[in-house]
């Protein structure tokens, strides 16, 4: 296994807890409330929280004009598409199913790394991709055979996962010589603008006062997800070997499934259990380092912040 520092282990553990528990929170947030508007309010609160953290830690805000285009591309694939499509998917699916589908990201990342960036992918990794694909088919089959199911939710979640995977690959290869927190702030701020335009265009006729439950979900996302989790993920994605960073996602969908069943009384079907098992197997196949990888030295950190 690639060695992680104490700080990295702590960030990874907190990230897993925050993101895993967020799936039932998201479901509460969009139940009876316009999903894009929910996301917008989270961003409107979360972006200043993140900005205050940068100011307190004296992290620079300025991004030279030379890097604006690359920053926009990173924002598009890491934030814009994910946040719009995933919040729409959550309203159609159970929180556990959303978590499983959303965290097929490592599988898409492995495939994109092999096909687009010509990374060598072992045979067992292709077996992992096949296992994940079968798991998705199981979930899709249940949605198609259930009259109350929404296959659109499955499609939106897969679009979200695949674009986030591409964004993660691009983030690992970014040439922008700035702190991760700086990039995270501007990606979050630009996402706020995008979601605001979409909310105004498609949901302004449904705007309403959030209830107490909605405010709980909003504040959870604003402070813990946008104020901490995204920056934590970008830090791990840039500073660790791809295997080590993406291993952090293995427990998130499992935590999401069981927290949703506990908090929202969501019924788990056999397809959910089977898909969850297949996702764990597939992610392990793709991400678990081989003996030669374990013997290789870890990649140096991209930055110290």
Q: pLDDT at position 1, please? A: 42
Q: What does the block give as tokens for 62?
A: 């300025």
Residues whose CB is less than 8 angstroms from the CB of residue 4 and which lie 6 or more positions away in sequence, other chains included = 12, 240, 244
Largest CA distance in the chain: 59
Apex CA 182: angle with CA 198 and CA 13, to 5°? 90
Hey, is 40 helix, strand or coil? helix
* Dist CA 235 CA 288 (whole Å): 21
> pLDDT tens for residues 128-173?
777 777 877 777 676 666 545 568 888 999 999 999 989 988 998 8
> pLDDT tens for residues 277-286?
887 777 666 5
pTM: 0.82
């Amino acid at each position: 296994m690639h060695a992680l520092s104490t700080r990295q282990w702590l960030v990874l553990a907190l990230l897993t807890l925050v993101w895993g528990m967020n799936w039932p929170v998201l479901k509460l947030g969009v139940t009876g409330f316009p999903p894009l508007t929910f996301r917008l309010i989270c961003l409107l609160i979360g972006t200043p929280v993140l900005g205050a953290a940068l100011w307190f830690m004296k992290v620079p805000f300025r991004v030279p004009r030379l890097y604006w285009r690359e920053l926009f591309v990173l924002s598009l694939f890491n934030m814009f598409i994910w946040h719009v499509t995933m919040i729409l998917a959550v309203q159609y699916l159970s929180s556990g199913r959303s978590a499983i589908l959303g965290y097929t990201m490592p599988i898409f990342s492995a495939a994109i790394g092999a096909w687009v960036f010509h990374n060598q992918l072992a045979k067992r990794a292709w077996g992992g991709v096949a296992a994940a694909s079968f798991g998705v088919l199981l979930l899709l089959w249940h949605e198609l055979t259930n009259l109350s199911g929404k296959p659109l939710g499955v499609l939106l979640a897969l679009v979200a996962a695949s674009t986030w995977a591409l964004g993660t690959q691009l983030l690992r290869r970014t040439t922008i010589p700035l702190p991760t927190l700086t990039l995270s702030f501007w990606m979050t701020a630009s996402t706020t603008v995008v979601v605001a335009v979409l909310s105004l265009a498609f949901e302004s006729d449904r705007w309403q006062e959030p209830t107490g439950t909605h405010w709980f979900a909003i504040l959870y996302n604003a402070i813990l997800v946008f104020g901490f989790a995204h920056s934590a993920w970008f830090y791990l994605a840039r500073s660790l070997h791809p295997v080590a960073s993406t291993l952090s996602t293995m427990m998130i969908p499992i935590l999401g499934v069981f927290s949703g069943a506990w908090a929202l009384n969501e019924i788990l079907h056999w397809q959910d259990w089977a898909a969850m098992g297949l996702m764990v197997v597939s992610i392990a196949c793709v991400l678990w380092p081989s003996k030669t990888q374990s013997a290789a030295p870890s990649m140096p950190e991209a930055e110290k912040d």
